[in-house]
Amino acid sequence: DAITLLDMHIEISLSLSAGQMTDLIYTEKELVQSLKEYIKAEESKLAAVKSWANKLDVLTRVSTSDPEGYLAHPVNAYKLMKRLNTEWSELESLVLQDPSDGFISNMSVHRQYFPDEEDEKGAAKALMRLQDTYQLDSESFSKGKLPGVHSSAFLTVDDCYDMGKTAYNDADYYHAVLWMQQSLRQLDAGEEAVVSKADVLDYLSYSVYQMGDLPRAIELTRRLVAIDPSHQRAGGNLRYFERLLSKQLIELKQVYQPASEEPIQLGTYARPKDHLPERETYEALCRGEGVKMTNARRSRLFCRYRDGNRNPRLLLKPVKEEDEWDSPHIVRYLDVLSHEEIEKIKELAKPRLARATVRDPKTGVLTTANYRVSKSAWLEGEEDPVIARVNQRIEDITGLTVETAELLQVANYGVGGQYEPHYDFSRKDEPDAFKRLGTGNRVATFLNYMSDVEAGGATVFPDFGAAIWPRKGTAVFWYNLFKSGEGDYRTRHAACPVLVGSKWVSNKWIHERGQEFLRPCGLTEVD
């Protein structure tokens, strides 16, 4: 909305004396002068707002011409979060200097839908997660050089600085170093920025120190002191770092080696270990590395038509089945969902997509978790004929009843969306996981891929080295339990982070109850 002048109401009583009236004349003159100054300030402000508007107009024209394509690029998604959380707030502060009712009411209406600080932080962490999983340096992100991307989206010096600060505030010095270094690199190349070189060096030198690289921390701090000799902390830090290094060299009986001339990049420092023991295997599979598909194994994989034991609904149009893995047996079904069915499922799910949950193993209650980053919705068969039809199709194809299955879960994994390695079934140490449902454990998983993904987003099985890539309209199926009801621990799997694109899936978790005669118990524990 255009910024309007505030209405100024001046009430004058005619019973005032001539002297008072004269005073009001001068008061009015002062008000006019004040009004002129206000107009000047407002015009200056309006010029600034117009500059914002023109920039954002160009941006939104690009983004709204192809929203999914625009958001498919993780940098665009991060910058959207940053813009709405930080930059629009700056614009709001500018306008609030002399409030404009139209603008503020609009801001108030829309603010409830804006991402907050937590969301911006989450988007920054998503970029870092992609950086780690796909071994991309900060420059690749900054320059928009991502696999499968045809258009570029850039990160400015200030964007890189904010990324580094997000990591720093989380005591994640590994990523703080990478992003502050990129910010410095772009500043050194002459790029203009709001942030100063001194601020970047301040964060970078301390983060490098935290990574245990004292010679480089000293070199960076010296550079900071040279730029800003009066800097509050720099002098003290430099003396502390030098004393610390001197002490270390004496203890280790070593001579001083100056800091490496090589710029800090991916691989300069080791990434700290985290809670996930199979992190390296999982991430390698996500990159398509370490897949244990041998020629001998490939020779055991076949494709076939399935009619579901002469199921009437599959007799005239049997389903195409392809083996993806031999043991445990994982199959892919082709042409399971049509484009129209996929669009209908997405349409039903979109209004209720919420942060995906996982079942707490101790309580059985659904809760959110950092290792699962997606939005999900649950759809009932009664809601729409398409859902009922999909449920029936899953029953026909698998030969298992879906009467005791969980509702169809629809999930959307956007930028950095992932589900780290997990089991679909409940283990012996979590007996109450599905107690409330009263339908036994999750015997099998039927996973529909409802979109192609430009880069990333594979389903991987770290235990035996399989990677299954999304293909729109197909579905993969595997058993989580042996026929004995014992869990097949090899089926621990993960949804890799989406690097470029948007990944839509829907899944049906099929439970034990009702399968007694459809999948009878085997003679041994691992049949």
Summarize pLDDT for 466-524 with one digit per residue, the tens: 999 999 999 999 999 999 999 999 999 999 999 988 899 999 999 999 999 999 988 88
Whether residue 259 is contained in a domain is answered as no
Whether residue 2 is contained in a domain is answered as no
Helix-helix angle 157-169:173-188, to 10 degrees? 160
Q: Which residue has the tokens 């989380």?
A: 170
Share of the chain above pLDDT 70, in %: 84
CA distances from 375 to 323, 353, 409, 412, 458 (A): 29, 5, 10, 5, 17
What is d(CA 305, CA 314) in angstroms, rounded to the nearest whole number?
A: 10
pTM of the model: 0.79
CA distances from 319 to 53, 225, 298, 312, 443 (A): 54, 70, 21, 12, 22
Helix-helix angle 74-82:157-169, to 10 degrees? 80
Cα 408 off chain centre by: 23
Q: Is the N-terminal amide bond of 328 cis, ω within 30° of 0?
A: yes
List the one residue out of 164, 166, 255, 269 whose CA is nearest residue 216.
269
Query: Do 218 and 238 meet the contact criterion of CB atoms below 8 Å apart?
Result: yes
Query: Do 73 and 146 meet the contact criterion of CB atoms below 8 Å apart?
Result: yes
Structure tokens at 33: 């002068």
Average pLDDT estimate for 313-341: 97
Choose between 281 and 114: higher pLDDT: 281
Whether residue 6 is contained in a domain is answered as no
Query: Do 446 and 477 meet the contact criterion of CB atoms below 8 Å apart?
Result: yes
What is d(CA 494, CA 180) in angstroms, rounded to the nearest whole number?
A: 31
CATH number at 286 reads 2.60.120.620
Check residue 234 and report its DSSP letter: H
**pLDDT confidence bin for 265, thresholds 50/70/90:** confident
* pLDDT at 495 (0 to 100): 96
Angle CA 445–415–269, to nearest 5? 105
Count of Cβ atoms closer than 10 Å to residue 38 Cβ:
15
Reported as a single tens digit per residue, the pLDDT across 275-306 is 888 999 999 999 999 999 999 999 999 999 99
Whether residue 223 is contained in a domain is answered as yes
Q: Do both 329 and 442 map to the same domain?
A: yes
- The residue range of the domain holding 230 is 135-252
List the one residue out of 426, 446, 457, 409 whose CA is nearest residue 330.
446
Structure tokens at 273: 């270990």
Reported as a single tens digit per residue, the pLDDT across 138-184 is 998 898 888 777 667 899 999 999 999 999 999 999 999 999 999 99
* pLDDT at 216 (0 to 100): 94
Give the long-range contacts of residues 350-357, CB within 8 A, separation 24 or more: 350/377, 352/377, 353/377, 353/410, 353/412, 356/411, 356/419
Q: Do both 179 and 56 map to the same domain?
A: no
Burial class (CB in 10 A: 0-12, 13-18, 19+), 329: exposed
Helical ranges in 411-513 per DSSP H: none
Whether residue 13 is contained in a domain is answered as no
Q: Do both 221 and 293 map to the same domain?
A: no
Choose between 506 and 104: higher pLDDT: 506
H or E element that contains 48: helix 18-65
Burial class (CB in 10 A: 0-12, 13-18, 19+), 428: exposed
CA distances from 346 to 68, 97, 174, 386 (A): 13, 43, 38, 11
Q: Do both 408 and 499 map to the same domain?
A: yes
Structure tokens at 168: 């720093």
At 467 the three-state DSSP class reads strand
pLDDT at 325 over 60: yes
Structure tokens at 162: 């904010």
**Number of alpha helices (DSSP H) and beta strands (DSSP E) in the chain:** 17, 18
CA distances from 488 to 255, 344, 427, 482 (A): 56, 34, 10, 6
Mean confidence (pLDDT) of the chain = 86
Q: Do both 156 and 59 map to the same domain?
A: no
Whether residue 263 is contained in a domain is answered as no
What is d(CA 416, CA 459) in angstroms, rounded to the nearest whole number?
A: 14
Average pLDDT estimate for 68-83: 90
What is d(CA 230, CA 28) in angstroms, rounded to the nearest whole number?
A: 49
Q: How many domains, in total, are found in the chain?
A: 3
Q: Do both 205 and 325 map to the same domain?
A: no
Reported as a single tens digit per residue, the pLDDT across 1-33 is 333 222 333 232 233 223 333 444 565 665 556
Q: Do both 143 and 106 map to the same domain?
A: no
Query: Do 507 and 495 meet the contact criterion of CB atoms below 8 Å apart?
Result: no
Q: Do both 202 and 350 map to the same domain?
A: no
Q: Do both 148 and 183 map to the same domain?
A: yes
- Select from 53, 78, 112 the last residue of a domain: 112
What is d(CA 96, CA 98) in angstroms, rounded to the nearest whole number?
A: 5
- Select from 216, 234, 252 the last residue of a domain: 252
CA distances from 354 to 78, 350, 367 (A): 19, 9, 12
Least confident of 239-253, 344-358, 402-416: 344-358
Structure tokens at 429: 């140490």
**pLDDT confidence bin for 414, thresholds 50/70/90:** confident
CATH number at 243 reads 1.25.40.10
Q: Do both 452 and 329 map to the same domain?
A: yes
Whether residue 236 is contained in a domain is answered as yes
pLDDT at 86 over 60: yes
Whether residue 210 is contained in a domain is answered as yes
Q: Do both 458 and 364 map to the same domain?
A: yes
Q: Do both 302 and 404 map to the same domain?
A: yes
Contacts (Cβ under 8 Å, ≥6 apart) of 49: 3, 91, 94, 95
Handedness of CA 78, 79, 80, 83 (dihedral sign): positive
pLDDT at 458 over 90: yes
List the one residue out of 132, 189, 139 whose CA is nearest residue 159.
139
Angle CA 468–473–474, to nearest 5? 35
